[in-house]
Amino acid sequence: MVIFVGKRLLQLVPVLFGVVTITFFFTHVAVPNPCAAWTKARTPGAVQACVVTFGFDKPLSVQYTTYLQNLISGNWGTNSVQQPVLPSILRAFPETLELVFASLLLMVVLGIPLGVVAANGAGRWPDHLVRTFYLSGWATPTYLGGLILAIVVGPALGLPYTGDFSSAKPPGWEIVHMSVIDAMLRLDPGALADAILHLILPATALAFLNMGIATRMTRGSMLEILPMDFVKTARMKGLTNFWVLYRHALRNSLISTTTVLGIAAGGLLSGTVVIENIFRWPGIGTYAFNAIIGYEFAETIGIVIVFAVGVVLANLVADVLYGLLDPRVEWR
Amino acid sequence: MTEPVLQVEGLSVDYEVGAGTFHAVQDVSFELHPGRVLGIVGETGCGKSTLAHAIPRLLQEPPARIRRGIVRFRGIDLLKLPRWQLPRVRGTGISMVFQEPINSLNPAYRIYDQVAEAIRIRRLRESGQAPGLVSPQEPFDYSKPKMPNVGEVLLKPLVPSKGPASRRPMFSKDAQDLRATVLEYLKLVRINDPDTILNLYPHELSGGMRQRVMIAIALSGRPSLLIADEPTSALDITIQAQVLTLMKELMTEIRTSILFISHDLGVIAEMADDVGVMYAGHLVELGPVDQVYRDPRHPYTKGLLRSAPSKYKSEGPLPSLPGSVPNLSRLPRGCPFHPRCVLAHADCTQDPGPKLTKAVEAAGPEHLAACYYSKEVPGIP
């Protein structure tokens, strides 16, 4: 298994190289000279100074090799106001990760049991009810669902609906930039409660919109597994329906559900942009949006790199879980 | 006569699918007495598997629907039992061995966990911690010295070995005890190195081994009724013989009542005390195996027996029954067999068809046939 994980991590290198190259050329070819947008003064002198500073006057190949060299040495470049990109990405990305983890957790603890309930009552009212629930989530546009949660449900329940925390934290208070984990690390129960309260609405929004992935997959594979003989064996042992469903049938259905959730987790990363904007969550989604709007090449490529790493790791985790869940899988 | 373990009266099961209603089991009645083995034999699609699944109510409803009938197991009417109470009867009351050993074990769990689960359920019930049907009636009482062979295997506690197989940490005395019991049952089904088997997954075992494990699971609940649904049909012929020998040996060791489903006349002859012959969802003949085989009283049984290959009759082509099995959604009126029957008269085509009654001039009173002309059957060439 260690070798398997190592091999997969090695595959990350060509993936990242490809992603960086493609993004680099797309951005630089589409907008050969963003300095007109970057400079506030808009005088030819200021623009020219900007072009020289960022090296846009050099051939594209030179710009590319310079960027790659910097990247390998750990310098992710600077944005238009000469600030290094990496620290801000490292601050924003964990915030998004926290949101994604929280909604994945909701999708697992709510979505999977709902799928089991639907499969158990297939064709009857529980099935229809569950389907209505996840389809309404799926069919709702992200901005609408998020907005309703933010301006109707949130105030009604008295939940805070922005990422602005009630108490300002002293600088350096955040260790990993995930509010819940930071509060745990700082052993601060008040901050922990605050962090969780702030997380509920955006995580629910993200989870509700994507609940269908977990529920539908669980329901589908449960329906495939329930008629199998080993489920009958479990029933004939005298197990109650609950244990037959959860210990025997679900255990085997999870094998396919985890794979899909792994892929979905990668998708969730990029799906947070709208949710983060609505809830003013200080994550990578907002950051990415602003970066692209402002022609911030270094920021854009940096974001693409962390997204690529995130997606690959999510898939790797799914594959490892798949292997752990299904004893028939060989680590290769 | 003792109280029967299982009484089936007028059981009818339909499948309601798009193409129509299929009458898979029609008005089937029989009794199974303690310690007896009742074989059900018939062609593919005659409803014998549906019958086997209908008794512990394993059928998926819908599409299946139990139209009417009574299934009385040790005095409990299973068809009237609410669904949530069914598990209490299963395992320690009725257990089952399925046809395909490839599919009948959970691929995600080790053999140990799968056998231990059944034993744990029985123990919880025996100690009164979980509701369920336990303590089988008289001839099944395992504590009585009536089954001496069982005692040796089942009663001797085994010390858990310390080989690589005991990777699973054994913390409590209970866990060690459970492991010992699992080993006993694996030894009971003649698995030579149960210690290694314990930590394997089903896909790492051969078909014959899996079926042995399946039998161990079915027996570990100490059921008073074991339903074996074609337990050897999916195995290749040498393994089939091994598993049959094993079951035969176990039958003398554990006198549990068995409902043995098979399409193989030879297997039934080997295993069963009584035999029921099914045709197109109907039970057409029922009686002790030797009587039914020697002196069949239903034309279908006669034809079935004649078309079985035998080492004594080798000249000429193998005789076969003319015609084909009727479509279960459009059964002929009256006796379902009349279109293929040489004895068919006008009254055979009238509804209701012949009921299972004592065969005329049969050797014993328990030999039943559903034929108006059972007296003439011996005369069919």
Chain B nearest C-alpha distance from A114 (Å): 20
CB contact under 8 A, A230 and B103: yes
SS3 A6: helix
Nearest to B98 among A229, A251, A325 (CB): A229
Contacts of B104 in chain A (CB under 8 A): 229-230, 232-233
Question: Which residues of chain B, if any, have pLDDT below 50?
Answer: 135-169
Cβ pair B231, B243 in contact under 8 A: yes
**What is the pLDDT, as a whole number, of residue B352?**
79
Contacts of A256 in chain B (CB under 8 A): none
> Per-residue pLDDT for A3 more than 70?
yes
Name the band, by pLDDT with cuts 50, 70 and 90, for residue A172.
low
**What is the pLDDT, as a whole number, of residue B144?**
39
Answer whether B201 touches A (CB < 8 Å): yes
Task: Determine the structural domain holding residue B284 and report its residue range.
Answer: 277-379
**What is the pLDDT, as a whole number, of residue B81?**
79
**Going from the N-terminus, what domains does chain A have, and what CATH number goes with each?**
2-72 (no CATH), 87-325 (1.10.3720.10)
φ, ψ of residue B364 to 5 degrees: the values are -130, 160
Cβ pair B44, B263 in contact under 8 A: yes
Residue B16 structure tokens: 């309601």
- Compute CA distances B279 → A103, B89, B267, B322, whole Å: 57, 29, 18, 14
- Compute CA distances B120 → B190, B220, B249, whole Å: 22, 9, 25
φ, ψ of residue B357 to 5 degrees: the values are -135, 175
- Minimal-distance CA residue of chain B relative to A326: B108
**Residue B374 falls inside a structural domain:** yes
Chain A nearest C-alpha distance from B351 (Å): 36
Q: Scanning the structure block, which residue is given the tokens 């697992």? A: A108
Please state which of the ranges A23-27, A29-33, A203-207 shows the lowest mean pLDDT.
Answer: A29-33
**What is the pLDDT, as a whole number, of residue A171?**
62
Contacts of A250 in chain B (CB under 8 A): none
**Residue B347 falls inside a structural domain:** yes
CA-closest candidate to residue B158, choices B175, B180, B191, B178: B180
CB contact under 8 A, A236 and B90: yes
**Binding-face residues of B in 26-85 toward A, CB within 8 A:** 53, 56, 58, 60, 83-84
Which of A120, A124, A224, A233 has the most B C-beta neighbours within 10 Å, making it the best mutation to test the interface with B?
Answer: A233
Nearest to A328 among B92, B107, B125 (CB): B107
CB contact under 8 A, B105 and A230: yes
Give how many domains chain B has, as a whole number: 1
pLDDT digits (tens, 9 = 90+) for A207-220: 888 888 888 889 98
Which of A230, A257, A329, A330 has the most B C-beta neighbours within 10 Å, making it the best mutation to test the interface with B?
Answer: A230
pLDDT digits (tens, 9 = 90+) for B215-244: 888 888 888 888 988 888 777 888 788 888
**Residue B201 falls inside a structural domain:** no
Answer whether B15 touches A (CB < 8 Å): no
CA-closest candidate to residue B162, choices B182, B181, B176, B178: B176
Nearest to A232 among B89, B98, B125 (CB): B98
**Residue B164 falls inside a structural domain:** no
**Residue B351 falls inside a structural domain:** yes
**What is the pLDDT, as a whole number, of residue B138?**
37
Nearest to B95 among A230, A236, A241 (CB): A236
* HSE-CB for A321 with a 13 A CA cutoff: 19
**Residue B370 falls inside a structural domain:** yes
Cβ pair B94, B55 in contact under 8 A: yes
3-state secondary structure A85-145: HHHHHHHHHHHHHHHHHHHHHHHHHHHHHHHHHHHHCCCCHHHHHHHHHHHHHHHCCHHHH
Nearest to B121 among A230, A232, A238 (CB): A238
Contacts of A252 in chain B (CB under 8 A): 106-108
Chain A nearest C-alpha distance from B238 (Å): 24
Chain A nearest C-alpha distance from B224 (Å): 13
**Residue B131 falls inside a structural domain:** no
Nearest to A237 among B83, B91, B108 (CB): B91
**Binding-face residues of B in 106-145 toward A, CB within 8 A:** 106-110, 114, 117-118, 121-122, 125, 132
Residue B183 structure tokens: 């080993």
- Minimal-distance CA residue of chain B relative to A252: B108
**What is the pLDDT, as a whole number, of residue A136?**
86
Contacts of B91 in chain A (CB under 8 A): 236-239
Which of B60, B94, B104 has the most A C-beta neighbours within 10 Å, making it the best mutation to test the interface with A?
Answer: B104
Which of B55, B106, B211 has the most A C-beta neighbours within 10 Å, making it the best mutation to test the interface with A?
Answer: B106
- Number of CB pairs, chain A paired with chain B, less than 8 A apart: 87
CB contact under 8 A, A238 and B201: no
* HSE-CB for A165 with a 13 A CA cutoff: 18
Name the band, by pLDDT with cuts 50, 70 and 90, for residue A168.
low
Bridge partners for B285 per DSSP: B277, B369
**Residue B301 falls inside a structural domain:** yes
**What is the pLDDT, as a whole number, of residue B155?**
29
